[in-house]
Structure 1
Amino acid sequence: MAQLGYFQISPRPATPPEDSVTLRHLAIVMPAYNEAEGIRGFVDEIRASVASLADVVSFHVADDRSTDGTAAVFDDVDDVTVEVQPLNRGHGPTALAAYRAGLAADPDALVHVDGDGQFHGSDFPRLIGALISEDADVVHGVRDGRTDPWYRKVLTGAVGVLIASAAGRRVPDVNTPLRAYRPEALRTLIDAVPTDASVPHVHFSLAEARAGFVVRYLRVASIPRRGVSTTGTMWGRGAGVALPPKRLRLFVRSALGEAWQLSLRPSAPLRRIRRPEPVAR
């Protein structure tokens, strides 16, 4: 097992035995925008992978005003709740809405993943197993083999350098969308971040490092977005896209300003976050 500071990056072990994790309630939360082509198959894959790990598994999809019928995909599925957002606000606010919907269900553990399905369902038991066995507050899925355009990889790396400087140590894959949380740890983060934050996972990663959260990092495979259309992603699908879209450039400028105001400046409100007392289990 490789070491990174006093955190750990775990290799890809076999799926933990089915009787090694037993939760009362596991919530899976997803922000989604125009993912009708692939999201149901992704949810089915996750469900099959985690069914033995919890008495109840629930899915909570925050739909960012999709135009392709994403919200109707689960009309006949009992364990999936879809909340259509009042406005199209982008990934960050929609992810936060998904988190809040999952927390409202009072789970023992919560996993966030984007609705574009860029992960294997078989990695979810490993993520949840690490959360329980390591008694962690959060486990990040560190993406191997990303197929995103080059400029998204460069952006992630640059943000990682910025966060490492602010936190005093490196945080691998600082903006990963695959995360497993203990509810009490997540509530502390959610309560501190405005509902319209555009890069909540960047804020979370920095606050977790500064506040002494027990964080573990698990290598997971990153796969191409499910679905053949390009309408479900804001920043471009494949590695062959030559230049960052103007929309992304404007987003980065705005996100940097947000990071400064909320997390980086000396009096930033997220500097006041402290790790909550662990709940007896």
Structure 2
Amino acid sequence: MQLSIVIPMHNEAENVSALVREIDSACAGLPDKELILVDDGSSDDTAKLIRALQDEFPWLRLVQHPRAGGQSAAVHSGVLAARGQVICTLDGDMQNPPSEIPKLVAPLLAADAPDDLGLVAGQRVKRQDTWSKKIASKLANGLRAWMLNDHTRDTGCGLKAFRRDAFLRLPFFNHMHRYLPALFARDGWQVAHVDVSHRERGGGTSKYNNLQRALVGIYDLIGVAWLIRRAKTVRPVDPAARDRDEGTAA
């Protein structure tokens, strides 16, 4: 299987059906794919509605957490369960348009994809959020970029595509999904960026506030900076890629 679309969901019953149908339409031209919805300990009917859709959409899979573990934990569980070589993530609140998925995964699924391309990160344009969220995000992104030098203006965007094998080698910790460009670069992978659209939440309520994010973000940022300073300076050579290069040279 080439592609697994992984979406963390917590109390998103109002968005499940519309999201699945929109992804099915947007990704009709992508072969060998699956959709994994990770129910992160929801207290509403999120999991029940996902199960109800599985007969209509056989490529839809459900992964469940017995209690809420957070977005990074949900993404990690989905990637572990995935069969695809390439993973695409997006948020379950409908703010990330599924129509952006083909554009995001194209660089990684291309026949001539660079061997060292690990991550394609979406960057939101014309964000449809409250002014307070946009200001808080701009300040946080500025501080993060200054400390980590990750050359990414918007790491909070849920739309990302990456190599499954590379992701599973990254150090796992809570909130790691916000630092993927820095973590992939730390391991020697190339990171590409794609501008993506953004829209208002489809239903339900936001799962965080600006103060909560700021408080945990300080500790996360210090921790990621430490991980970068302690990174290995070389990455093992893929024997298959080496043999391929030697054959081309010959």
Percent identity over paired residues:
25
1:119-198 correspondence runs (5 A): 119-133=96-110, 134-135=113-114, 136-168=117-149, 170-189=151-170, 192-194=171-173, 197=174
1:173-198 deviations in Å (ceiling 9; x for gaps): 12221101122221222xx113xx1x
Match of 1:139, SS state, is strand
Q: d(CA) in 2 for partners of 1:58 and 1:277?
A: 30
> Partner letter of residue 184 of structure 1?
D
Match of 1:158, SS state, is helix
2:3 pairs with 1:26? yes
Q: d(CA) in 1 for partners of 2:141 and 2:201?
A: 23
Structure-1 residue corresponding to 2:248: none
CA contact (8 A) 1:188 1:276 kept: no
> Partner letter of residue 154 of structure 2?
D
Structure-1 residue corresponding to 2:17: 40
Structure-2 residue corresponding to 1:260: 222
Cα root mean square deviation, aligned:
2.4
- Which blocks of at least 5 consecutive residues in structure 2 are unaligned? 245-250
Aligned pairs, how many?
232
Q: d(CA) in 2 for partners of 1:171 and 1:186?
A: 18
Structure-2 residue corresponding to 1:241: none
Match of 1:51, SS state, is coil
Q: Which runs of 4 or more aligned residues in structure 1 lie more than 6 Å from their structure 2 counterparts after TM superposition?
A: none
Q: d(CA) in 1 for partners of 2:20 and 2:216?
A: 32
Q: d(CA) in 1 for partners of 2:214 and 2:140?
A: 10
> Partner letter of residue 60 of structure 1?
I
Structure-1 residue corresponding to 2:211: 249
> Partner letter of residue 256 of structure 1?
I
* Cα 1:216/1:269, change in 2 over 3 Å: closer
- Which blocks of at least 5 consecutive residues in structure 1 are unaligned? 1-23, 236-244
TM-score, length of structure 2 as denominator length? 0.82
Q: Residue 49 of structure 1: CA displacement? A: 2.0
* Cα 1:149/1:100, change in 2 over 3 Å: farther
1:69-95 deviations in Å (ceiling 9; x for gaps): 000112141322222212223323223
Q: Residue 53 of structure 1: CA displacement? A: 1.9
Q: d(CA) in 2 for partners of 1:83 and 1:234?
A: 19
